[in-house]
C-alpha cells in the first residue's frame, strides 16, 4: 500500500479487469469504499457520498464486476464470492490506506465476505439491507425468507432471465420493490446490454459455487447493520440472526417504512448512521 493519497483514482485494476471508480471528497479524508448492489452501479451512492464528504470522508464508488463492460467476464464461476472479494482486496491495495467498507444489496453480501476473510486494511464495515450470508441462509431454511427470495431461484434458469430483463415485467418488479420511476429507467436501461445483464445474473448463479466458508466466517471489525422495515425482498429474520456472526462491536439500526433501496430513498439517515459508525470505530481503535 503506497499510493499517494493526493492523487485521484479513476479506475481500479485486477488483471485484465478494469473497474471505473468515482473518487470524490477531501483527498486527505478517511477513505470509504462504497459497494453497490444489483441491478445498480456506482451511481446508487450519488446521494450518500456528498453527505460523507461534508463530514470529512473521501469516498470511492466503483462499478463492480459484471456491472460494466470492462469487467464483465463470461462464465458464472468467475462470479464466486471469493473472486469478487479478490476484486475488493485489489481496490483496497490501490487506495493505499485502510478503509471503511460499506455495501448495499449484493455489495453488502460482498462486504460480509471481505470482512469475514480477515482482509487487512479494514477499519470497519457496514451492510445495508443484507444480513451476514450465514444468517441469510438460516433465514431461508426457517422463515418466510424462502418465499421472498423467489427471484434468486428464478435467476438460475439459463437465458430466460436475460430476456426478461428487457421487458416491462422487470420494470414492474423493481417498482413493486419500491424503486422510483427515475431509477427504474436508469437500471432497466443498463441491463438491456447483454454482457451486463449476464454479469449481474451471474452473481446469483455463482452462489452455490462459492466457498461454504462464507456462511460461517466471523467478522472481527466494528460492524453496522442497517435494515429497513419496508424491505419486501429481505425480511427481518436474517437481520436478527446476524449479530451471532460478529465478534467485534455490532450495531443494528432499522429504518421504519423505507424500502429496500436505502442509499437512494434515505440517504440522510444512511449517511448519519455511517458517520456515527465510522467515528465509533475510530474511538474503539
pLDDT tens-digit series, residues 193-214? 999 999 999 999 999 899 999 9
Q: What is the CATH number of the domain that holds 88?
A: 3.40.50.1820
User: What pLDDT was estimated at residue 131?
Assistant: 98
Q: Which residue has the cell 464528504?
A: 53
Q: In this structure, is residue 144 part of a structural domain?
A: yes
Q: How far apart are CA 168 and CA 284, in angstroms?
A: 49
The percent of residues above 70 in pLDDT, for the chain, comes to 97
Q: In this structure, is residue 184 part of a structural domain?
A: yes
User: What pLDDT was estimated at residue 1?
Assistant: 45
- Whether the predicted pLDDT of 2 surpasses 70: no
- pLDDT, one tens digit per residue, over 73-109 is 999 999 999 999 999 999 999 999 999 999 999 999 9
Q: In this structure, is residue 5 part of a structural domain?
A: no
User: What pLDDT was estimated at residue 160?
Assistant: 93
- pLDDT, one tens digit per residue, over 100-137 is 999 999 999 999 999 999 999 999 999 999 999 999 99
- pLDDT, one tens digit per residue, over 172-189 is 999 999 999 999 999 999
Domain interval for residue 126: 11-284
Q: In this structure, is residue 149 part of a structural domain?
A: yes
Q: How far apart are CA 183 and CA 28, in angstroms?
A: 32
* 3-state SS assignment for residue 151: helix
Q: Which residue has the cell 448495499?
A: 104
Q: In this structure, is residue 3 part of a structural domain?
A: no
Sign of CA dihedral 62, 68, 71, 75: positive
Q: How far apart are CA 113 and CA 82, in angstroms?
A: 7
pLDDT band for 282, please (50, 70, 90 cuts).
Answer: confident
Q: How far apart are CA 18 and CA 90, in angstroms?
A: 11
Q: In this structure, is residue 251 part of a structural domain?
A: yes
- pLDDT, one tens digit per residue, over 225-251 is 999 999 999 999 999 999 999 999 999
User: What pLDDT was estimated at residue 285?
Assistant: 59
Q: What is the mean pLDDT of residues 56-71?
A: 97
User: What pLDDT was estimated at residue 3?
Assistant: 52
Q: In this structure, is residue 209 part of a structural domain?
A: yes
User: What pLDDT was estimated at residue 104?
Assistant: 98
Q: In this structure, is residue 6 part of a structural domain?
A: no
Average pLDDT value for the chain: 95
Domain count, the chain: 1
Give the predicted TM-score (pTM) of the model.
0.96
Q: Is 162 left (phi over 0), alpha (psi -120 to 50) or beta?
A: alpha
- Whether the predicted pLDDT of 13 surpasses 70: yes
Cell of 279: 467515528
pLDDT band for 284, please (50, 70, 90 cuts).
Answer: low
Amino acid at each position: 500500500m503506497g499510493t499517494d493519497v493526493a492523487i485521484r483514482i479513476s479506475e481500479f485494476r485486477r488483471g485484465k479487469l478494469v473497474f471505473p471508480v468515482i473518487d470524490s471528497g477531501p483527498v486527505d479524508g478517511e477513505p470509504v469504499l462504497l459497494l453497490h448492489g444489483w441491478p445498480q452501479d456506482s451511481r446508487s451512492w450519488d446521494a450518500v457520498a456528498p453527505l460523507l464528504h461534508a463530514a470529512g470522508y473521501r469516498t470511492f464508488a466503483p462499478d463492480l464486476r459484471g456491472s460494466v463492460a470492462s469487467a464483465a467476464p463470461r462464465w458464472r464461476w468467475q462470479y464466486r464470492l471469493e473472486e469478487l472479494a479478490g476484486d475488493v482486496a485489489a481496490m483496497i491495495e490501490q487506495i493505499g490506506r485502510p478503509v471503511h467498507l460499506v455495501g448495499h444489496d449484493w455489495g453488502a453480501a460482498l462486504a460480509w465476505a471481505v470482512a469475514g476473510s480477515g482482509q487487512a486494511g479494514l477499519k470497519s464495515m457496514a451492510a445495508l439491507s443484507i444480513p451476514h450470508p450465514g444468517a441469510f441462509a438460516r433465514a431461508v431454511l426457517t422463515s418466510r425468507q424462502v418465499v421472498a427470495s423467489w427471484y434468486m431461484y428464478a435467476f438460475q434458469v439459463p437465458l430466460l432471465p436475460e430476456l426478461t430483463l428487457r421487458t416491462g415485467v422487470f420494470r414492474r418488479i423493481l417498482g413493486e420493490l419500491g424503486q422510483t420511476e427515475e431509477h427504474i429507467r436508469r437500471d432497466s436501461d443498463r441491463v438491456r446490454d447483454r454482457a451486463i445483464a449476464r454479469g449481474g445474473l451471474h452473481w446469483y448463479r455463482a452462489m452455490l459455487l462459492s466457498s461454504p466458508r462464507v456462511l460461517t466466517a466471523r467478522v472481527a471489525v466494528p460492524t453496522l447493520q442497517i435494515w429497513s422495515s419496508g424491505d419486501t425482498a429481505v425480511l427481518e429474520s436474517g437481520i436478527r440472526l446476524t449479530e451471532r456472526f460478529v465478534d467485534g462491536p455490532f450495531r443494528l439500526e432499522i429504518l421504519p417504512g423505507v424500502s429496500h433501496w436505502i442509499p437512494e430513498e434515505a440517504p440522510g439517515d444512511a449517511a448519519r448512521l455511517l458517520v456515527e459508525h465510522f467515528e465509533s470505530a475510530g474511538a474503539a481503535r
